[in-house]
Chains A and B, each alone.
Chain A
Amino acid sequence: MATKKRRTPNIQSDSWVVIAAGSVIDSQMHDSNPAFVRLRNPSTDEASLYMLGSCDEQLYEVKAFDEDFHSWFVGQTVQRDGRLLFVTPMDPLYLILPYLIKSGKEGKFQPVDQVVMDEEFPACCRLLRCTRSLASLHHIAEEKEVGGLKFHRYSEEKTMNWLQKKVERTVVALKKRNISVGEGVKSTTYVRVKSESDYCEEDYLRYAHGLISEYISEDLSKALLRHLQLPELTSPKETEPPSKKRKLSDKPVEAGEDYTKFNSADFARKPPKKMTAAQKTLAKVDKTGMKPMSSFFSPKVKVEKK
């Protein structure tokens, strides 16, 4: 093709291709619809998209399969956005955890509905309505009941045990699905002749830890690594030697150990070469407003027509 096409940004569309767990719409009470909500992502501390099932019974995370050069044919229409959204069940405790940790710093037992509050994401209180939430809070917090009211306080010990169980379950799932977890394995579509059952347990643990870390804060991830007694990996950057810089000087470059030159009779340092007259005049030219040579070689892109 002779002309270069420039891609315009994807325009927001009002339809999506979604794969969702059946439970999203499978509810006894149909009076409230499942809804997309923006909540604080425990790993990034920023907004992420989640879904709450009807009557907020169940929490779902939303992930998008997103690759370049894809579009959908939907019935008699074409959808430019080729994304495939996955709505999969998620444990609401992951999202509740950061709020508990924050209030846990005060060391007091508190009613949980006073803890899970966020001005930025007011929808977060709906997390507590999920069927599993209140029943499973004891995994991450100590409980006290006074006069029919329940109070909670974050417990790191409990949380670590809970997360460890999560990691162990993930390992089981990884093994069952034959997911390649070894270092250096990059392609999941590349089929090896040798079976990869000989991954060591540590590979699985580390991989599972990495997966769970997508759902917890960085500090917690590090603590979990210690709890699992996995040594922290040194990043390759630290082992890399510092890049050498060549010393800049006006003196001519000399070999470090060259004893011959001092023996020669006519050894003398030459002064730096003078510029020729032509070079001098060129240097004096006013270059303001001139384009650098390189600018003439950058690609010219045709604007996409609508």
Chain B
Amino acid sequence: MDISPYETDNSVSCRLTSQIPDVCRKEDCCLGIDEAGRGPVLGPMVYGICFCPVSKKEALKDLKVADSKTLTEAERENLFQKLDEAKSYVGWALQILSPNTISTSMLQRTKYNLNALSHDTAIGLVQYALDSGVQLKEVYVDTVGPAEKYEEKLSQLFPGIDVTVRSKADSLFPIVSAASICAKVARDHVVKSWKFAENLGEVDTDYGSGYPNDPKTKAWLLKYLDPMFGYPQFVRFSWSTAQTLMDSKAVTVHWDDEEEDGEKAAQRQNNRSMLSYFGASGGDNGQNPTQQTHRFFTERRLRSLNTL
């Protein structure tokens, strides 16, 4: 698998695609969607679709594709090779969501959670297949969140396509298994050959599984924690593991969309106490209105200083 398009800039989302088999434009097709790398605090999340004519479903079974989790890395590589060789009737497409994309989506001002990101990525890939002229009739998806809701959402978006959302779809439908193999192989490649954009020198790549509960991963996170910047972009900042470590070990950074309440915060934001509106007339507080700084300065956030 050639992941070089992603490696040119591993801070953004990237789409890798196979050739569209001619037969897929003519015959009714089925499509499977699955993802790899949803849980880890390190590396990208990869979404994969795999599609083939409905008539070729049996041929896919003969390739002995199975749930990627039950396979060793070598077996997965082998199966992906087979899928790629079957390019006369099997097509695939991948969306690599960089850890940076995940961090910035989840931590932006209007929060974009992982489920929404997952759904939209899956939808984008199905749309890609449709736009490429694939005659989609059946779509099989491994669920994210409640299956019925997701199924309803997808059915509404793609009328005329029979959408099936199941948990464990990757072990039920060969086409989903195929998609899961594509996604998993891509993720493995990306993680293995990750090029750090940061100037870290020789990076210790012994970070274990990348899952938050892995002690090796935790040790690695602690080692590469910069007190000012936090982590390299390889780390998903939005994961609570990363956040907890930054909260306790790094410099505190305040953002203006942070929730802050209590009297102190109100005072800092120059909010007036509710009570002041109910007081007896005036409530001058010794503040002469003419003494207030002119709005030319207040509007521009300019003020005099009395000391440096």
Assess whether A3 is in contact with B262, with CB atoms less than 8 Å apart. Answer: no
When the two chains form the complex, which single residue of A63, A207, A243 contacts B280, counting CB atoms closer than 8 Å?
Answer: A243
- Chain A residues, CB < 8 A from B303: 63-64, 66
Q: B residues within 8 A CB of A4?
A: 259-261
For the complex, is A11 an interface residue (Cβ under 8 Å from B)? Answer: no
Binary interface encoding of chain A residues 14-47 relative to chain B, with 1 for a CB under 8 A from any of its CBs, else 0: 0010000000000000000000101001001011
Query: How far does the Cβ of B46 sit from chain A's closest Cβ, in whole Å?
Result: 28
Q: Quick one: which of A46, A218, A298 contacts B290, CB cutoff 8 A?
A: A218
| Chain A window 58-80, contacts with chain B (Cβ cutoff 8 Å), 1 for yes, 0 for no | 00011111111100000000100
Query: Could you tell me how many residues of chain A have their Cβ less than 8 Å away from some Cβ of chain B?
Result: 50
A-B contact count (CB 8 A): 101
Among listed B14-22, B91-99, B167-175, B294-302, interface-contacting one: B294-302
- Indicate if the CB atoms of A1 and B243 lie closer than 8 Å: yes
| Assembled-state Cα–Cα distance A242/B283 (Å) | 12
By a CB distance below 8 angstroms, the chain A residues around B278 are 243
Among B248, B278, B300, the most chain A Cβ lie within 10 Å of the Cβ of B300
Residues of B within 8 A of A85 (CB): 305
| Contacting pair B297 A214 (CB below 8 A) | yes
Main secondary structure of the interface of B (DSSP, over half): loop
Convert B213-257 into 0s and 1s, putting 1 for each residue whose CB lies closer than 8 angstroms to a CB of A.
000000000000000100000000000100100011000101110
Contact of A299 (CB < 8 Å), options: B262, B288, B302: B262
A46 contacts which chain B residues (CB < 8 A)?
A: 306
Q: Could you tell me the distance in whole angstroms from the C-beta of B101 to the nearest C-beta in chain A?
A: 20
Q: Which among B259, B290, B307 has the greatest number of chain A C-beta atoms within 10 A?
A: B290
- Whether B296 pairs with A65 at a CB distance below 8 angstroms is no
B8 on the interface (CB 8 Å rule)? no
Given known pairs A4-B260, A36-B308, A64-B305, the reply for A214 and B288 (CB within 8 Å) is: no
Closest partner residue, chain B, to A63 (CB atom): B302
Please give me the residue from chain B that is nearest to A218 by CB atom.
B290
Bound together, the chains give a CA A305 to CA B227 distance in angstroms of: 12
* B280: A residues at CB distance < 8 A: 243
Q: How large is the interface on B (under 10, 10 to 19, 20 to 34, 35 or more residues)?
A: 35 or more
- By a CB distance below 8 angstroms, the chain A residues around B297 are 63, 214
Q: Judging by beta carbons under 8 Å apart, are B308 and A49 in contact? A: yes
User: Taking CB as reference atom, which chain A residue is nearest B283?
Assistant: A237
Do A243 and B281 touch (CB < 8 A)?
A: yes
Q: Are B306 and A210 touching (Cβ within 8 A)?
A: no
**A5 interface contact, C-beta 8 A:** yes
Q: Is B160 an interface residue (CB 8 A)?
A: no
A178 to B261, CA, bound (A): 38
* Given contact pairs A64-B302, A64-B303, A210-B295, A16 touches B254 in the complex (Cβ within 8 A): no
Contacting residue for B293 out of A7, A36, A64, A214, CB 8 A: A214
Q: Which residues of chain A have C-beta atoms less than 8 A from B260's C-beta?
A: 4-5
Interchain CB contact under 8 A, A67 and B301: yes
The CA of A38 and the CA of B301, in the complex, are separated in Å by 21
**Chain B proximity of A121: nearest CB distance (Å):** 11
B binding-site residues for A, Cβ under 8 Å: 228, 240, 243, 247-248, 252, 254-256, 258-264, 268, 278, 280-282, 288-291, 293-297, 299-308
Which residues of A are in contact with B by a Cβ distance under 8 Å? Answer: 1-7, 12, 16, 36, 38, 41, 44, 46-49, 61-69, 78, 85-86, 179, 186, 188, 207, 210-211, 213-214, 218, 221-222, 235, 237, 240, 242-243, 298-299, 301, 304-305
Q: Supply 14 further A-B pairs (C-beta < 8 A) apart from A49-B306, A188-B300, A299-B261.
A: A16-B308, A36-B308, A48-B306, A49-B305, A62-B305, A63-B297, A63-B303, A63-B304, A63-B305, A210-B294, A214-B293, A237-B282, A243-B278, A305-B248
